[in-house]
Amino acid sequence: MFWNEEIETMPRQDLEELQLKKLQSTVKRAFEKIPYYNKRYSEAEVYPEDIETLKDIEKLPFITKDDLRESYPFGLFAVDIKEIKELHSSSGTTGKPVVSGYTEKDLDTWAETIARGLTMMGIGEDDILQNTHGYGMFTGGFGVHYGSHKVGAAIIPISTGQTRRQIEIMKDFGATGLIFTPSYGIHLAEVALEDGIDPKELGIKAIGFGAEGWTEEIRQRVEELFGTKAYNIYGLTELMGPGVGIECEAQKGLHIAEDIYYPEIIDPNTQQVLGENTPGELVLTNLEREGMPVIRFRTKDLTKITYEKCECGRTHARMSRITGRSDDMIKVKGVAIFPSQIEKALLKVGDAEPHYMIIVTRPGTLDEIEVKVEVSQDIFFDGVKEMMAVQNKIGKSIENETGIRVKVTLVEPKTLPRFEGKAKRVIDERNLH
């Protein structure tokens, strides 16, 4: 099932021709309408007519989150505010927020990307889709909302929180699709189980999840809990919102809507463009955006891309799940490690719950990592010896995965914080001293 079969299965040569045409007109519009690009490109002595092939995109300078912040609020708009129909922004916990502006056509393009994804997940007009992503300035809720309207499903725009009410509505309304962040999904399932409701019995056909990091183990846990497949949705407010990449039924990478976003992978240090299947930082370009075209945005998200045709029949490139961020890497004892590695390691140990916190300290001159992990109630009943064994197992598993020795502390079930938005699992106390 395809939402837009012609585009989604387009032979790659045709697709690339389409991309080139759209890239050329995007760069031209940006150069002509937006002083920021005009200045940057003039300084770099690269002009719209220099884009003769897709590869020529590499001549263009990158744009970073800082550049977007400096253009706050509307400095990157290519149209008059009259044409803008909706405004979103990132949370701006560090510095000024980043604003995202949408024309009517942009809102429709955004909905199109999500509609393709919902169709991949098997969600259509017969379905009832419960959307636990937050609405507001955050784009998570609205992206899914507009996509749901487009495919004609009945959206329940419940947003995050009120977990017991969520479960009641899920059951009473007969939701067949769920959208959540993995950590909130697991929390939902846990609360349902506490109340004697087996999430598997709710008749959920498909789950879309995103807006925070995850591992295959987390996905498996979600799928087991709800007894159905869970599909990853990737996107970011700067580029439009969720919908940049969505998994198909094969679950072998997220199809990037390549007629709408042009992806590149670069080495975050040298900034060189890397080849297929080589991990690096994702760089994205809006090919289809009227309100605020963003060209060569450094996402800081680490992934790799394959252009091999997918077993689902789609020709659009697939990105792997994000394995970390080039800037939330924790450097400990000179080694770069990612929270996702620790998550993977401890999920390999059967007795650990997928709830954990990583605390990095520097008591003297050396870095130390402590990983607090929730274990099942049973372990606590089994006594100290058993707990020591589990602690050792987890420690070894983490050392295996990261090459680093960490201190493991087991804590009782439900004592670590649950996250209703993006999980914040790393506490780096080294900067406090």
User: Which of 71-79, 207-215, 247-255, 261-269 is the region at the interface with a second copy (rule: CB under 8 A)?
Assistant: 71-79
Question: Token digits for 160?
Answer: 């995050």
Residue 314 contact among Zn ion, a second copy, none, beta carbon within 5 to 8 Å by kind: Zn ion
The answer to whether residue 136 forms part of the interface with a second copy (CB under 8 A) is yes
- CB-based contact 123:231 (threshold 8 Å): no
The answer to whether residue 157 forms part of the interface with a second copy (CB under 8 A) is yes
Give the integer Cα–Cα distance in Å for 198 and 179: 18
For the chain, give the number of residues: 433
- CB-based contact 339:357 (threshold 8 Å): no
The answer to whether residue 72 forms part of the interface with a second copy (CB under 8 A) is yes
For the CB of residue 419, give the shortest distance to a second copy in the complex, in Å.
Answer: 18
Question: Which of 65, 289, 304, 314 forms a contact with Zn ion (CB under 5 A)?
Answer: 314
* Near a second copy in 83-112, by CB under 8 A: 84-89, 92, 99, 101, 104, 107
- What letter would DSSP give residue 173? H
The answer to whether residue 248 forms part of the interface with Zn ion (CB under 5 A) is yes
- CB-based contact 307:278 (threshold 8 Å): no
User: Which of 45-53, 144-152, 188-196, 294-302 is the region at the interface with a second copy (rule: CB under 8 A)?
Assistant: 144-152
The answer to whether residue 312 forms part of the interface with Zn ion (CB under 5 A) is yes
Question: Token digits for 302?
Answer: 């680490």
Question: Which of 54, 250, 387, 426 forms a contact with Zn ion (CB under 5 A)?
Answer: 250
Task: For residue 83, give every residue at least 6 positions away whose Cβ sits within 8 Å of its Cβ, in sequence order, or none.
Answer: 103, 104, 290, 291
Angle in degrees, CA 387, 390, 391, rounded to 5: 85
Within 174-303, residue ranges assigned H as helices are 182-194, 216-226
Residue 360 contact among a second copy, Zn ion, none, beta carbon within 5 to 8 Å by kind: none
Q: Measured in whole angstroms, how far is the alpha carbon of residue 421 from the centre of its chain?
A: 12
- Extract the runs of DSSP E, i.e. beta strands, from 2-93: 84-89
Question: Which of 156, 218, 317, 330 forms a contact with a second copy (CB under 8 A)?
Answer: 156
Which residue, 135, 129, 166, 169, is CA-closest to 149? 129
User: Which of 49-57, 67-75, 264-272, 403-411 is the region at the interface with a second copy (rule: CB under 8 A)?
Assistant: 67-75
Question: Which of 152, 227, 363, 417 forms a contact with a second copy (CB under 8 A)?
Answer: 152
Residues in contact with a second copy by the rule CB under 8 A = 72-74, 81-82, 84-89, 92, 99, 101, 104, 107, 125-126, 128, 135-137, 141-142, 148-149, 152-159, 165, 169, 172-173
